[in-house]
A and B are shown apart, each in its own frame.
Chain A
Amino acid sequence: MAANSWPEKTRIINTRYPRLDGLAKASGRAKYPSDEKPEGTLFGVVLYSPHAHVKIKSLDSSAAEKLPGVKAIEVIAGPGKTLRYHGDDIAIVVAETEEQARDGARAIKIDYEFLPHAATESQAMAENAPQIVNGGNVRKGRAQTTGKPDDALKAADAVVEGTYFAPVITHVCLEPHGLTARWDDKNHITAWASTQSVMATANELAESNELPVSNVTVLTEVMGGGFGSKFGADIWGTTAARISKKVGGRPVKIFLDRAQEHLAGGNRPSVLAKVKIAGTKDGKITSLVAETFGTGGVARGAQFPLPYVYSIANFKREHSDVFVNGGNARAMRAPGHPQGCLVMESALDDLAAKLGVDPLAMRRANLAPNDFRTPIYLNEMEIGAELIGWKANYKPRGSQTGVVRRGMGVALHQWGGGGANDKQVSCTIFPDGTIELKSATQDIGTAIRTVLAMIAAEVFGLKPTDIKSNIGNSTFPPGQSSGGSTTTPSMSPPCYNACLDARDELFKKIAPGLPGNPAASDLSLADGQLLVKGQPAMSFKEACRKIGMNPISVIGKSSQGLASNGVAGVQFVDLSVDTETGAVKLHKIVAVQDSGLIIDKLTWESQVFGGVIGGLNYGLFEERVVDPVSGRMLNPDMELYQLAGASDIPEIICHAYEPDDQKKRGVIGIGEPPTIGTAAAIGNAVANAIGVRVPHFPMTPMNILNALAKEGKA
């Protein structure tokens, strides 16, 4: 029978448990999809556009075809086709070795007709800009208006006008996009894919190769990061499968190189916001008027939530998506929220500074009165303020005069994180005592394999290491795609139900044969033992032997009450800014985060660490730099595309907000929320330190010194 609540007392659930594949990952023994090299593997390389906007006049692959080792060339964009960004796909070359494939790709001769490009937001928005798509580069959405924002601006005690900008950043998955596809026979494909959805990838491979999806197996034992950018096979993957068929079934491996990963693997849209925000002396925001822009490449997708978190009676907002000759956006860890958060939190902080209101009081004054998150925010702000040392160290903006100035900042964020209710997990008890879980979900890094094993271990009175927790196979019972922080809340309920049902069936089956003829309800499991009326009777293994030849196998489904949706979250940052060099030194970041019932507190913390580090990269380092002259990305690497190294990362305190009323909500996802507020809190801490808003993210020496110079303070 399906459960509607988690057990009150737990032995394994809600403890810190190391991930089952942690040692294999840390030691290099874990085989990632890009490590797989089945016998006979051929290597594919994608030839992509070196130009921002061109039409292909002619393409000649005859010389390339004759090169040693080259087995197949598939043209994606032939003569007459327009390439719309640096990194746009042209062709795929498959050869015996990766080097031969690269030589092949370089040997394809192409004549281009150059078209005018608009590769940056300012180029695309300029008057007389070349129109790179039909319908115009700037797509204005419908204005949203609530209340009387213009009247409220006039009546306010203070008005702040601000412009806030953050550039496009990319996912920088350590394992690039790609897969290896093999036609096993003329009706079956096996693919080893680095994906956030084995099922979606299987569907795509099946459809593009005209096979029933049951004939396609997609395997993702582990993977090296996706952050929202890896939900399908992509054209690289479907082409790899097609070429495998063409060459008689030999496996074809195509993984992007680092440059193309930046160029074509997805990105987070930029944000430009021109904001007027107004308020009263008591710290209440009375009006917000915002004109916002962002680019998601040669497509829409740059929308983001605003107002964000706070309840504002009067607001007007107009958003425009700007089309540029750049790689297209893909979902990236909390799509839209980091942008909305940094605009809202920057503007709120600037208004607080102008009104002379304490930033924490300002935030408390503007939370929605009837929202379930409000008491959570209030408690989290109190905890976070204590952990960062706000009372002792906070000084009002602009009150410092030294060369190096300390700053503190705060930001609030929110997310959903609820699960789907149609996923399944199978639980099989074998006569030798093996317990196997199966589901077609995958571990994007949240440790779902370990989480499922912990739930099973809780039910069966075993250790998580006793459980075979099998995921990452598209032929298993339908599992959740890993996006939106939904995997754990989608998969934990069916896992729990599967284990409960399997256990009950075990009891029913063996009770009649036990000495004294106990009822099934007299049996229980603890510490690897079968208990009868509370007394140890035999080991779990011995008990399983009594089920006979046939394993017990059940499929668990979701049920009400085990998972929930909607989280808050507060982050604090303590840093210093050297006003003569513009260098920022982070001292400490505090992340206070609710997420219902936490199954594994250790891997939960790991998600929060990862989220905060991603967020501080957004705040301090990352920027897709595009050359206005050539329209090319200038830093498609991991050198000039800057990312934090170990010495850039400060002490990070991850505080789980989980009083009993939170635990009772059941499981909620954690992947997204802890990355949202970090950059906003960093921006506010910098402004607090130097007394000047740095309007342009990331917080680089260039942007900080420019902001100081503009205010005459450098």
Chain B
Amino acid sequence: MKAFEYVGASSADQAVKALSSGAVVMSGGTDLINRMKDYVTSPARVVNLSDAKDLAGISGDAASGVTILAGTRLADVLASDIIKKAFPALWQTTSEVGTPQIRNMASVGGNLMQHPRCWYYRSGFGLVPKSADGKHMLREGDNRYAAIFMTDGDALYAHPSSLAIPLIALGARATLVGPDGERTIALADLYKVPTSNEDSPFAAKAGEILKSISIPAAAGKNGSYEARHKQAHDWPLVLASVNLTMSGDTVSDATVVVYGVAPVPWRSKAAEEAIKGKAVTIESAKAAGAAAAQGAKPLSMNGYKVALLKTVVARALCVTVGNRYWEA
């Protein structure tokens, strides 16, 4: 890695003050350090947030909502009974991230702000990788892990944060702090689609850091289902989280968010519409899964993700009513 200046921040304020042009923040470091070693990211200054006491912790409860400070370790999310009981979609997804070692280091904010795993990006070709003769490398090359939605655009990678999926489904909001103070936005709005290699995949302004995530009061049912290759340490291939408002046994409102299918966390309105007004059964869940696949335009190698998308949406819905039909 290239030499860099190091600042250890003991508070969010200190961190914001230490941020200058060319600086990046580091929380658990499980993504940033690898990018630095591979010369994918070569910051002039690294501001370490891991000792900032005001950036770690979980507060609130199921009835009033929960705030998770950005520096909270994934292991601490898993240790929270409130999250386990009220937000199983988040708890389950968190439990499937990385390894115990990674979950002990990695933070919620770091997971949400990690950079894409796209192997062209990690090889140094950027988020919109183009060859010297102008070919889009991900479109023409090995795109087995890439997006199947928004593929008419130039950003074809799959968004990397699995925690963003249940959090967006649960209606989470993100609070950012910067030189001009704090602002709170929908977590979904933290992400954008870059159009060039110079562009950022985040909507955070220069000098802003992610401070906290707030999840509104739990209402109804939520759940997640992840399809992956390995049982041990692996990334999801496709993952769905759902949050349902119930009226008796009938779904009156639904949010369905999917990982692995677009360069941003993918909200499937079609799946939401399909399940609304219905009880969650294997049949209605599969119909919602099929609806989720409407409009998918896979690339040359990732058509299999359409099948996975249908399955994970159906299974995430079934999970909310305790129907694990695939384990029968």
Instruction: Indicate if A634 sits at the interface (CB-CB under 8 A).
Output: yes
Are the C-beta atoms of B308 and A701 separated by less than 8 Å?
yes
Known contacts A404-B326, A578-B326; is-contact A625 B142 (Cβ 8 Å): yes
Among residues of B, the one whose C-beta sits closest to the C-beta of A584 is B229
CA distance A4 to B301 in the complex (A): 60
Give the distance in Å from the alpha carbon of A702 to the alpha carbon of B234 in the complex.
Answer: 15
* A699 (CB) vs chain B CBs: closest residue: B229
Contact B137 A714 (CB under 8 A): no
Q: Is the CB of A403 within 8 A of B325?
A: yes
From A630, A640, A647, give the contact of B231 (CB < 8 A). Answer: A647
* In the complex, A706 has a CB within 8 A of chain B: yes
Contact A583 B140 (CB under 8 A): no
Q: B63 interface residue, CB < 8 Å from A?
A: no
Contact between chains at B325 and A628 (CB < 8 Å): no
Tell me the bound Cα distance from A499 to B163 in angstroms. 64
With CB as the reference atom, state the residue of chain A lying closest to B132.
A114
A621 within 8 A of B: yes
**In the complex the two chains form, is B304's CB within 8 Å of A701's CB?**
yes
A585 contacts chain B at the CB level, 8 A cutoff = yes
Q: Complex Cα distance A374/B132, Å?
A: 58
- Against B, the Cβ 8 Å flags (1 = close, 0 = not) of A580-592 are 1111010000000
Residues of B within 8 A of A402 (CB): 328
Q: Is A711 an interface residue (CB 8 A)?
A: no
Q: Which residues of B contact A714 (CB under 8 A)?
A: 307
Does B233 make an interface contact (CB < 8 A)? Answer: yes
Q: How far is the CA of A253 from the CA of B231 in the complex (A)?
A: 37
B119 and A634 contacting across the interface, CB-CB below 8 Å: yes
Q: Does B303 contact A (CB under 8 A)?
A: yes
Query: Given A580-B311, A640-B117, A648-B231, are A634 and B328 neighbors across the interface (CB < 8 Å)?
Result: no
A648 proximity list for chain B (CB < 8 A): 230-232
Docked-complex contact B232 and A403, CB < 8 angstroms: no
Set of chain B residues within 8 Å of A583, measured between Cβ atoms: 227-229
Contact (Cβ within 8 A) B304 A705? yes
Contact string against A for B residues 196-236, beta-carbon threshold 8 Å, 1 for contact and 0 otherwise: 00000000000000000000000000000001111111100
Asked if residues B304 and A709 are in contact (CB atoms below 8 Å), the reply is yes
Q: Is the CB of A702 within 8 A of B144?
A: yes
Closest CB of chain A to B111's CB: distance in Å?
16
The closest CB in chain B to the CB of A50 belongs to B124
Interface status of A646 (Cβ within 8 A of chain B): yes
Q: How far is the CA of A649 from the CA of B114 in the complex (A)?
A: 29
Chain A min CB distance to B99 (Å): 8
Given A625-B119, A629-B135, A647-B232, decide whether A404 and B327 contact each other with a Cβ distance below 8 A: yes
A467 to B64, CA, bound (A): 70
Q: How far is the CA of A640 from the CA of B234 in the complex (A)?
A: 8
Q: Which residue of B lies closest to A637 (CB)?
A: B122
| Cβ of B130 to closest chain A Cβ, rounded Å | 10
Q: Which of A647, A701, A706 contacts B237 (CB 8 A)?
A: A701
**Min distance, Cβ B260 to any Cβ of chain A, angstroms:** 11
Interface size class of B (residues with CB under 8 A): 35 or more
A645:B233 contact, CB within 8 angstroms: yes
Which B17-38 residues sit within 8 Å CB-CB of chain A? none
With a cutoff of 8 Å between Cβ atoms, the chain B residues found around residue A642 in the complex are 229-230, 234
A629 and B140 contact, CB distance less than 8 A: yes
B311 lies within 8 A of A581 (CB)? yes
Report the Cα distance A106→B37, complex, angstroms: 13
Q: Which of A114, A578, A629, A705 has the most CB of B within 10 A?
A: A629
Complex CA distance for A270 and B312, rounded to whole angstroms: 33
The answer to whether B307 touches A634 (Cβ under 8 A) is no
Structural contact, B141 and A630, CB atoms closer than 8 A: yes
In angstroms, Cα B129 to Cα A440, docked, is: 51
Q: Is A635 an interface residue (CB 8 A)?
A: yes
- Check B149 for interface membership: any CB of A closer than 8 A: no
Question: Chain A CB within 10 Å — which of B117, B120, B232, B312 has the most?
Answer: B232
The CA of A701 and the CA of B260, in the complex, are separated in Å by 14
**Bound-state Cα–Cα, A603 to B168, Å:** 52
A627 is an interface residue with CB less than 8 A from chain B: yes
- A628-B141, A630-B137 known; A621-B119 Cβ under 8 A: no
Known A581-B308, A629-B131, A701-B308: A645·B231 in contact at CB below 8 Å: yes
Give the residue of A582, A628, A644 whose beta carbon is less than 8 angstroms from that of B304.
Answer: A582
- With a cutoff of 8 Å between Cβ atoms, the chain B residues found around residue A705 in the complex are 304, 307-308
Task: Judge whether A406 is part of the interface by a CB distance below 8 angstroms.
Answer: no
Partner of B140, one of A628, A647, A700, A706: A628
B123 in contact (CB, < 8 A): yes
Most buried by A among B117, B125, B229: B229
Assess whether A585 is in contact with B231, with CB atoms less than 8 Å apart: yes
Shortest C-beta distance, A600 to chain B (Å), equals 30
Task: Establish whether residues B135 and A709, one from each chain, have CB atoms under 8 Å apart when the complex forms.
Answer: no
**A53 interface residue, CB < 8 Å from B?**
no
- Contact flags A615-649 to B (C-beta < 8 A → 1, else 0): 00000010001111110101100011010111110
B123, B227, B234: most-surrounded residue (chain A CB, <10 A) = B123
How far does the alpha carbon of A706 sit from the alpha carbon of B300 in the complex, in Å?
12
What is the CA–CA distance of A702 and B228 in the complex, to the nearest angstrom? 10
A634 and B227 within 8 A (CB): no
Contacts of A706 in B (CB 8 A): 303-304
A126 to chain B, nearest CB (A): 15
Contact A709 B303 (CB under 8 A): yes
Q: Is the CB of B137 within 8 A of A629?
A: yes
CB distance from A108 to the nearest CB of B (A): 15
Chain A residue nearest to B124 (CB atoms) is A50
- Please tell me if the beta carbons of A634 and B304 are within 8 angstroms of each other in the complex: no
A624: min CB distance to chain B, Å:
11
CB distance A403 to B123 under 8 Å? no
Q: Report how far A235 CA is from B221 CA in the complex, Å.
A: 62
How far, in whole Å, are A646 and B99 apart by their CA atoms in the complex?
Answer: 11
Please tell me which one of the listed residues B131, B232, B308, B326 contacts residue A630 in the complex, with CB atoms under 8 A apart. Answer: B131
A residues less than 8 Å from B230 (CB atoms): 621, 642, 644-645, 648
**A interface footprint on B295-328 (CB within 8 Å = 1, 0 otherwise):** 0000001111001100110010000000001111
Inside 8 A of B135's CB, which chain A residues have their CB? Answer: 629
A705 to B306, CA, bound (A): 10
Residues of A within 8 A of B307 (CB): 580, 582, 705, 709, 714
A3 CB, nearest partner CB in chain B, Å:
47
| Interface hub of B117, B125, B311, B328 (most chain A Cβ within 10 A) | B311
Q: Which residue of chain A is the closest to B234 with respect to CB atoms? A: A642
Instruction: Evaluate contact between A627 and B141: CB separation under 8 angstroms.
Output: yes
Given contacts A114-B132, A402-B328, A580-B307, contact A701 B229 (CB under 8 A): yes
- Which A residues lie within 8 Å of B303 (CB)? 706, 709
Decide: B304 and A702 in contact? CB cutoff 8 A: yes
Q: Mind listing 12 A-B residue pairs with CB under 8 Å?
A: A582-B308, A583-B227, A583-B229, A627-B119, A627-B137, A629-B140, A630-B137, A634-B119, A645-B232, A648-B231, A701-B228, A706-B303
A580-B326, A621-B230, A702-B302 are known contacts; what are 15 more A-B pairs with Cβ within 8 Å? A106-B39, A403-B328, A404-B327, A581-B308, A582-B307, A627-B119, A628-B140, A630-B125, A642-B230, A644-B232, A645-B99, A645-B233, A702-B304, A705-B308, A706-B304
Going nearest first, the 9 A-B pairs with the smallest beta carbon separation are A645-B232, A705-B304, A634-B119, A629-B141, A647-B231, A580-B311, A581-B227, A647-B232, A629-B137
